Amino acid sequence: MSCVAIIGLGNPGSRYSNTRHNLGFWLLNKFANSHDISFQAKPKFCSEISKFILNDRSCMLVKPLSFMNQSGKFLHSLLLNNGCDIEESIVVHDELTLSVGQMKISKGRSNAGHNGVASVFAALGSTITRLRLGIGQKESSHMSLSDYVLSSFNPHEAELLEARSNHFLAALKVLLTNGVDQAMNFYNQPLPDRI
């Protein structure tokens, strides 16, 4: 039975844990906690992984620890080593074009300047499924993009993300069990910008 990989993007280390760029890690941690599963370090592949079965489907959560811009560096060998179907892979990442608390599922779109996604595409191809979590646009033109994506959420944004986390997790489960078309039909609808 082939395995499907769910790859969350982020940067390793506590200094990055609450930043906008780490929403992929954040959602995978939420998923692991909700299913009482834990991550295991795989130093050979510079990753942490967690294997589980969901509705008779073999799945694997993956957090690359090679820093965002090289997220894809070890993915191809890691997925092959664990019997994962590369074309079935799902990438969870932050998205500038969506406001905080919004989500969009897509397949076969461009990386839109996201270096982590570009690295994953280089490793696995650009037709894989993506669950994109909004971080909003930077408000000040004086702030660099790198400073913005590495900034923390304000209290309202953090509260909104927590309130929406179960919605995001439900979308991920539908992706895993029912496929991308049904997930897009159910979940690609704008949500209110407030809780």
What is the rounded distance in angstroms from the CA atom of residue 85 to the CA atom of residue 14? Answer: 31
Tell me the three state secondary structure of residue 49. Answer: strand
- Look up residue 82 and give its DSSP letter: T
> 23-34 and 155-178 are packed helices; what angle lies between their axes, rounded to 10 degrees?
60
Determine whether 35 is an active site residue: no
Are 98 and 79 in contact by the 8 Å Cβ rule? The answer is no
157-181 burial code (b ≥16 CB/10 A, e <16): beebbeebbeebbebbbbbbeeebe
Catalytic residue among 21, 93, 114, 156: 21
Residue of 96, 91, 100, 101 lying closest to 165 (CA atoms): 101
- Farthest-apart Cα atoms in the chain, separation: 51
> Which amino acid belongs to residue 126?
S
- Residue numbers annotated as active site: 21
